[in-house]
Amino acid sequence: MNWQRIHPRRLLLLFVVLVAPVSAWAAGIPALTLSEDGGTYTLSLQILIMMTLLTLLPAAFMTMTSFLRIVIVLSLLRQAMGTMQSPNNQIIIGLAMFMTFFIMAPTFNQAYQDALEPLMAEEIGMEVALQKAAVPFRAFMMRQVREDDLAFFGEMAGVESYEDEASVPFSVLLPSYVTSELKTAFQIGFLIFIPFLIIDIVVASLLMSMGMMMLSPMIISLPFKIMLFVLVDGWTLVLGTLASSFLVR
């Protein structure tokens, strides 16, 4: 699998192509016309709609990629260790973002090469570019979505079955994918909690047996949990497991 670097500008353009509706890129509708020295300048509604759609990029990045699962697992890991605000939210979000770039690199590259490059070269239209850009993201989400979640939202939409993956609409695939990611993230978080919970129980039992009931078990167990996490190379283990969870399916 080819893990190439993704230029930030390419990533931004790719998401604009993916989330922008086809109707927003139709023939220009004049929104404002100014005349000066015999010249006419037209501000098209296309630009206004495009700038508005840029606000959807964070939501698309969080719900259509691996970001959701990663950021939830890292937040649960911090709570399991009991380190309060260390690492803080900015570090967790930044780490989840760069892990998402690493995991989604093949998907971003395929969408860029198949849709955005031909569009900028004026070889295909916007409607065709949207369809081509959606293909790798649809494939990625279909690999991760649970069949029961997809069937549940399909039933709510009034569709009992689909002929193939391409026939699943995004209106059904997106909520199914988000729900599946939430379930998977909390399952991984539960497994991460177990060793730290055992340490808390052992320390609390020892303090109770020694009659030191006024001493908080969290103060004593925190250094042991940090030591355990460091000894087992916890960050590499957790991040590597998260990355592998998207590749094995």
Examine residue 179 and state whether it is found in any structural domain, yes or no: yes
For residue 65, give every residue at least 6 positions away whose Cβ sits within 8 Å of its Cβ, in sequence order, or none.
100, 103, 104, 140
Number of domains in the chain: 1
Is residue 21, in this structure, part of any structural domain at all?
A: yes
Amino acid at 140: F
1 within some domain: no
pLDDT in tens, 157-181: 887 777 777 778 888 889 999 999 9
Let me know: does 106 contact 127? Beta carbons within 8 Å.
Answer: no
* Residue 47, domain member (yes or no): no
205 within a domain of the structure (yes/no): yes
Q: Judge whether 217 and 207 are in contact, CB under 8 Å.
A: yes
Neighbours of 34 (CB within 10 A): 9
Check pLDDT > 60 for residue 82: yes
Buried b (16+ CB within 10 A) or exposed e, 148-164: ebbbebbeeeeeeeeee
Q: State which residues form the domain around 232.
A: 8-27+56-247
Distances (CA, A) of 152 to 17, 137, 170, 176, 185: 29, 21, 14, 8, 19
Residue 48 lies in a domain: no
First and final CA of the chain: distance in angstroms? 14
How many CB atoms sit inside 10 A of residue 188's CB? 20
**pLDDT tens digit sequence for 183-217:** 999 999 999 999 999 998 888 888 888 877 777 77
DSSP state, 190?
H
pLDDT at site 71: 94
